[in-house]
């Protein structure tokens, strides 16, 4: 399963585009559409949207692989999109260790959806941007669409 256009637009809208390096709310050096800069990467002159789109596609592919590896139940495209956005934003480690994933893999889809909404804090406080992002993920999750198996 691949991230849909709707899921990709959620990531782009949530992250926004920045041509220059900035520090995100979690303290990571970031550029483009939320690309966390790796130690070997350097962007002294910033980047344009075409390069940001390439970085985004690579980062999304990693998030898709993580979701596919971690999820052990059948999920819909909307649920997959929500999980890829979650993983893109917070990392595979947070998804792997989450109650969200535990509930989902136990077949408790509604409980898993509710868990999405709990991930709206930064620095110990509710962050409005994260709150809106989690609510958008929740809406994707609840969309009625065709289920597909994402496990190998």
Q: Name the catalytic one among 15, 49, 64, 103.
A: 15
Which residues in the chain land under pLDDT 70? 145-152
Q: How far is CA 28 from CA 86, 95, 118, in A?
A: 17, 18, 21
Q: What is the CATH number of the domain that holds 38?
A: 1.10.530.40
pLDDT at 146: 54
Q: What is the pLDDT of residues 58-92, one digit of tens each?
A: 999 999 999 999 999 999 999 999 999 999 999 99
49 given a catalytic annotation = no
pLDDT at 149: 44
User: Domain span at residue 48?
Assistant: 5-149
Domain total of the chain? 1
Dmax (CA) of the chain: 48
Q: How far apart are CA 148 and CA 74, in angstroms?
A: 6
């Amino acid at each position: 399963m691949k991230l849909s256009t709707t899921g990709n637009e959620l990531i782009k809208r949530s992250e926004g585009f920045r041509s220059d390096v900035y520090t995100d709310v979690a303290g990571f050096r970031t550029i483009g559409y939320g690309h966390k800069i790796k130690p070997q990467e350097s962007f002294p002159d910033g980047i344009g949207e075409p390069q940001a789109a390439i970085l985004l596609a690579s980062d999304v592919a990693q998030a898709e692989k993580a979701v596919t590896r971690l999820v052990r139940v059948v999920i819909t495209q909307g649920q997959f999109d929500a999980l890829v956005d979650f993983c893109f934003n917070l990392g595979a480690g947070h998804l792997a260790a989450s109650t969200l994933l535990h509930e989902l893999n136990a077949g408790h889809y509604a409980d898993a959806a509710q868990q999405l909404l709990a991930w709206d804090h930064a620095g110990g406080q509710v962050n409005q941007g994260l709150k809106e992002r989690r609510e958008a993920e929740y809406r994707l999750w609840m969309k009625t669409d065709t289920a597909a198996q994402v496990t190998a």
